[in-house]
Structure 1
Amino acid sequence: MDWKPYAERLAASVTPAVSRWREPVASTPRHVFVPRWWDLDQRALREGSADEAAWLHAAYSDTSLVTRIGALHADSASPADRPTGVPTSSSTLPSLVVRMLRHGHLYDGADLFVVGAGSGYTTAVAAQRLGDKHVVAGDVDPYLTEVAMDRLDSIGLTPQVVTCDATTEIPGEFDRIVSMVALPNLAAVLAALRPGGRLVTTLARVPIIVTADKGDDGTARGVVEWDRAGFMSTRSGAELPPDLRESFTAVRDREGEAVSQGRYPVLNVSAAWDVRAMLELSVPGVEAHYEEQGVQRTAWLVHADGSWARASATRLEPPTVHQGGPRRLWQVLERIRNRLNAEGGLPLYGSHVHITPDGVCHFSRGKWSASFG
């Protein structure tokens, strides 16, 4: 297979001409790491060897390729399988791989730990840049670590790949830690970071990139980058993310304990990353769903404490809002949107971050502050 021209075009599209990451991307055969993947639109298995042209197109496009849905990995699936549930592993889009690594301010001789080995592609790109002995990757899934190591070895790379749970402990100490999954708490990664080391991560259900440098006091200080990213939340052990369809189904057409008219048009909260991030900090654990049927737009919010909200309207008209449970979730959302309209932005992006040894992120900007983890 003549993959090299495809990798070179991909590298040219995701890195500047003078970037030190151009050659690592251009020399990494991404198709090796995604021989099979899931077409999310059809929930159908795609087999690379069955259509080489489609394989090359998919592997060397700047897009994420989902390799596992729920507990079913594409490697072990049959063409008849139609898995349900949420994606649980993927090969991240190459431009985001490069962005996360660049945020790490990597340097020659730095020891890097990659949280979330996944397909092994990020590990391969990092090893091409830093050298095998300076890169370790970890994943909670022993199948993923075994396969990633085999595929890395098949292209002549031998970085260490370990099975570990980054929510509890990371083996070793490192100058740089870059997480390719969204973490619920940063205690374990902070503990594995050497003083003076740098952490790059996203947070569970909060689509932000946090960069922070560790001090001699065991804490880390940094910022929320103006850049944005959203990763799958990390798993702990064999635990899989909950399938929330039942929660949304239960309140889909329920009459609310409180019924009112909303102030703003119905919003797809999951696609409005600034708003989504602030909502999670205000009500940790809130989940969102959105549908359009013709000119009708409907959004739902649910929380494990029994709180829920549903807002529905035609096009951009003010919605009818139904709410129930102990908290009025739509009112929380509207307060965030009030602030966005009044101030022209939300304070989270660009805020200062202080990460304490217990793994909690403390955000501050002006008079605003919040904590996560």
Structure 2
Amino acid sequence: MKWLPSARRLAHQVVRPESRWHAAVASTPRHAYVPGWWERDDADGWRLHSGPDDPVTWMETAYSDRTLVTQVGGHHADLVGQAPVLASGRPASSSTLPSLVVRMYRHAMISDSDDILVTTGSGYGTALACARLGAGRVTSIDVDEHLVRLATDRLALHGEAPRMLVRDITGPLPGRYDRIVTTVSVRQIPVSWLRALRPGGRLVTTVSGTGLILTADKNADGGADGRIEWDRAGFMAARHGDGSHHPDSHWKEAGEGDGEETSTSRYPLLDPRDAWDVMSMLELTCPGIDYRVREAGGTRTVWLLHPDGSWARASATGFLDSPVVHESGPQRLWDRLERIRHRLNRSGSLPVYGARVSITPDGETTLSRGSWSTTL
């Protein structure tokens, strides 16, 4: 297939011509790393697409600036013919939209002589790093042996042989690096990252459940100092196993029950994922919330569910209507959301973006801006 024109078009779309990443995007065959992908079929399901079965759609999709889901639950899209055509569950791996991969690398301020550690996923981000630096300066790791094996084979087909390893990104890391860039998120910076970074080395990652990009440079004490960038991004949390998820034990109650308290919100209905600063602030104060949304019969409903059994359900029929809220469990999740919206309305902004980041040698990570601070 003639893919180079598509890759060059993508490069012009996502990177300025004078950027050193332009040639990398223009010369990397993204379609080779995403032969299959999942797309939403309905509110609760996913449909498998096979690139070789529809080459025109494959080229259009692979060279668009969008994230392509490559694994749902335990089902790899790569296993076309073995994976079911329809699947349910949560995304567990993806090929990140190319513009965001480049942005993460640019936040790392990578020089030509840097040795870098990246996360594998589909292998496309690793391929871009190899095209930019040379494979000898790139180490790529993933907890999923299947993904590492496929990416290794596909990189080799295009003449690239970086160091590929099956590892938990939050555990011990092999070697020393000038840059660590992850396209998975973590709650707290792993101590292993600080130990693997050379003096003055930089790490770039995102905070789990938020839209916060964290950059930090290793200091003389063995910790790191940095900031939350004004840029925004959200990645799947770092996995420690096969990526499967257990069903929510309290979902039925949250979907149908009246809860322990019923109230009427003073604000219009909001899905926090539509307001990155609100979602990020809520995650920092109450980590682990899962969000669900449904529209039926003119009524829109937003659910917040927490692993401790807390849940909130808010429903409204109009954009400006005050939603009716049901809550239950150890925490009042919608009340927490309302307090954040109070603060936003009172102050005009939330302090998360632009916050200073301080990381101790044992990984304790503190964000601060003005009088506000929080430790992850």
Q: Please classify the TM superposition score into its range, dividing by the shorter chain length.
A: over 0.9
Which amino acid is the alignment partner of residue 87 of structure 2? Answer: P
SS in 2 for 1:298: strand
- Once the two structures are superposed, what CA deviation does each residue of 1:210-252 show, in whole Å capped at 9, x if it has no partner? 00000010111101001000111111133534444x5333211
Which amino acid is the alignment partner of residue 216 of structure 1? Answer: A
Counterpart in the other structure of 1:49: 52
Counterpart in the other structure of 1:181: 184
Within a 5 Å distance, the mapping from 1:303-318 to structure 2 comes to 303-315=306-318, 316-318=320-322
Which amino acid is the alignment partner of residue 126 of structure 1? Answer: A
1:87 aligns with 2:91: yes
- State the Cα distance separating 1:286 from its structure 2 match: 1.9
Counterpart in the other structure of 1:361: 365
1:211 aligns with 2:219: no
Counterpart in the other structure of 2:64: 61
Whole-angstrom distance in 2 between the partners of 1:216 and 1:251 = 49
Which amino acid is the alignment partner of residue 50 of structure 2? Answer: E
- State the Cα distance separating 1:257 from its structure 2 match: 1.3
1:163 to 159, 166, 169: 166
SS in 2 for 1:274: helix
Deviates more, 1:76-85 or 1:338-347: 76-85
2:101 to 79, 97, 101: 97
Q: Work out whether residues 223 and 363 of structure 2, in 8 Å CA contact, stay in contact via their aligned partners in 1.
A: no
Aligned length: 370
- Once the two structures are superposed, what CA deviation does each residue of 1:115-142 show, in whole Å capped at 9, x if it has no partner? x201100000011111111111100011
1:143 aligns with 2:152: no
Within a 5 Å distance, the mapping from 1:223-234 to structure 2 comes to 223-234=227-238
Which amino acid is the alignment partner of residue 11 of structure 1? Answer: A
Which amino acid is the alignment partner of residue 160 of structure 1? Answer: R
Counterpart in the other structure of 1:125: 128
1:261 aligns with 2:264: yes
Whole-angstrom distance in 2 between the partners of 1:276 and 1:190 = 28
Whole-angstrom distance in 1 between the partners of 2:347 and 2:307 = 31
Whole-angstrom distance in 2 between the partners of 1:225 and 1:318 = 34
Which amino acid is the alignment partner of residue 100 of structure 1? Answer: M
Whole-angstrom distance in 2 between the partners of 1:255 and 1:268 = 20
Whole-angstrom distance in 1 between the partners of 2:49 and 2:291 = 29
Which amino acid is the alignment partner of residue 205 of structure 1? Answer: G
Within a 5 Å distance, the mapping from 1:314-325 to structure 2 comes to 314-315=317-318, 316-325=320-329
Whole-angstrom distance in 1 between the partners of 2:334 and 2:311 = 8
Whole-angstrom distance in 2 between the partners of 1:321 and 1:6 = 48
Counterpart in the other structure of 1:286: 289
- Once the two structures are superposed, what CA deviation does each residue of 1:245-279 show, in whole Å capped at 9, x if it has no partner? x5333211211211111111111112221111111
Within a 5 Å distance, the mapping from 1:347-358 to structure 2 comes to 347-358=351-362
- Once the two structures are superposed, what CA deviation does each residue of 1:88-128 show, in whole Å capped at 9, x if it has no partner? 111111010110011110001100000x2011000000111
Counterpart in the other structure of 2:279: 276
Which amino acid is the alignment partner of residue 161 of structure 1? Answer: M
- Once the two structures are superposed, what CA deviation does each residue of 1:125-162 show, in whole Å capped at 9, x if it has no partner? 01111111111110001111111011001011111111
- State the Cα distance separating 1:296 from its structure 2 match: 1.6
SS in 2 for 1:252: helix
Q: Work out whether residues 86 and 243 of structure 1, in 8 Å CA contact, stay in contact via their aligned partners in 2.
A: no
Whole-angstrom distance in 2 between the partners of 1:289 and 1:356 = 35
**Cα distance 1:126–1:5, how it changes in 2: closer, same or farther (>3 A)?**
same
Counterpart in the other structure of 1:154: 157
**Cα distance 1:370–1:146, how it changes in 2: closer, same or farther (>3 A)?**
same
Counterpart in the other structure of 1:34: 34
Contiguous gaps of at least 5 residues in structure 2: none
Which amino acid is the alignment partner of residue 147 of structure 1? Answer: L
Which amino acid is the alignment partner of residue 339 of structure 1? Answer: R
1:335 aligns with 2:339: yes
Q: Work out whether residues 208 and 277 of structure 1, in 8 Å CA contact, stay in contact via their aligned partners in 2.
A: yes
SS in 1 for 2:86: coil
SS in 2 for 1:227: strand
- State the Cα distance separating 1:292 from its structure 2 match: 2.3
- State the Cα distance separating 1:3 from its structure 2 match: 0.5
Q: Work out whether residues 268 and 299 of structure 1, in 8 Å CA contact, stay in contact via their aligned partners in 2.
A: yes
Which amino acid is the alignment partner of residue 93 of structure 2? Answer: S
Contiguous gaps of at least 5 residues in structure 1: none
- State the Cα distance separating 1:74 from its structure 2 match: 1.2
Whole-angstrom distance in 2 between the partners of 1:180 and 1:202 = 8
SS in 2 for 1:225: strand
**Cα distance 1:234–1:241, how it changes in 2: closer, same or farther (>3 A)?**
farther
Deviates more, 1:345-354 or 1:270-279: 270-279
Q: What is the RMSD of the two structures over their aligned residues, measured on CA atoms? A: 1.4
**Cα distance 1:210–1:80, how it changes in 2: closer, same or farther (>3 A)?**
closer
Q: Work out whether residues 85 and 243 of structure 1, in 8 Å CA contact, stay in contact via their aligned partners in 2.
A: no
Which amino acid is the alignment partner of residue 312 of structure 2? Answer: A
Whole-angstrom distance in 2 between the partners of 1:53 and 1:258 = 53
Whole-angstrom distance in 1 between the partners of 2:244 and 2:173 = 20
